[in-house]
């Protein structure tokens, strides 16, 4: 049995959120979801995630900007952020300290998601 890790999922597509939650909860992770990036800082203080999975194209905010903001904050810069997107043309080059810790292309298969998340917790 895996140690319980908290994963925050941020995506404005409720079907995608539900799918990711089902997959990760089956793997033994605790999940918390947001359909908007607006309250991510408050949610992170309450839920204290060990990992953030975030869509790049949120309805209200750009996930890359949100990632950069999290990486610039002393309270959240230690938390890995994996960005998810259906676009294969995004510029996700090295953005210095604001760069994500990983990237998953949509559509993804279950094993890819589980592997990328699991790798973040490997000893």
Q: What does 49-109 look like in DSSP terms, one character per residue?
A: -SEEEEESB-SSSBHHHHHHHHHHSTTTTTS-EEEEES-S-------GGG--SEEEESS--
**How many domains does the chain contain in total?**
1
Q: Which domain range does residue 42 map to?
A: 6-56+73-120
In this structure, the strands spanning 30-34 and 6-10 are parallel
Q: Does some domain include residue 61?
A: no
CATH of the domain at 37: 3.40.50.2300
Q: Does some domain include residue 41?
A: yes
Cα within 13 Å of Cα(96), Cβ side: 4
pLDDT in tens, the chain (123 residues): 456 899 999 999 999 999 999 999 999 999 999 998 889 988 988 899 999 999 998 987 899 999 999 999 999 999 999 999 887 666 555 555 578 899 999 889 999 999 999 999 886
Q: How far apart are CA 37 and CA 71, in angstroms?
A: 15
Q: Does some domain include residue 67?
A: no
> pTM value?
0.90
Cα within 13 Å of Cα(47), Cβ side: 21
Q: How far apart are CA 58 and CA 73, in angstroms?
A: 21
- pLDDT at position 92, please? 53
Q: How far apart are CA 113 and CA 8, in angstroms?
A: 14
- pLDDT at position 1, please? 45
């Amino acid at each position: 049995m895996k140690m319980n890790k908290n994963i925050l999922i941020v995506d404005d597509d409720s079907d995608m959120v539900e799918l990711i939650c089902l997959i990760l909860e089956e793997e033994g992770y605790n999940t918390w979801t947001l359909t908007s990036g607006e309250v991510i800082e408050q949610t992170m203080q309450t839920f204290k995630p060990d990992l953030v999975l975030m869509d790049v194209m949120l309805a209200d905010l750009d996930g890359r900007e949100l990632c950069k903001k999290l990486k610039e904050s002393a309270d959240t810069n230690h938390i890995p952020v994996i960005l998810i997107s259906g676009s294969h043309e995004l510029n996700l080059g090295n953005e210095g300290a604001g760069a994500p810790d990983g990237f998953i292309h949509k559509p993804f298969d279950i094993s890819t998601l589980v592997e990328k998340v699991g790798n973040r917790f490997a000893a």
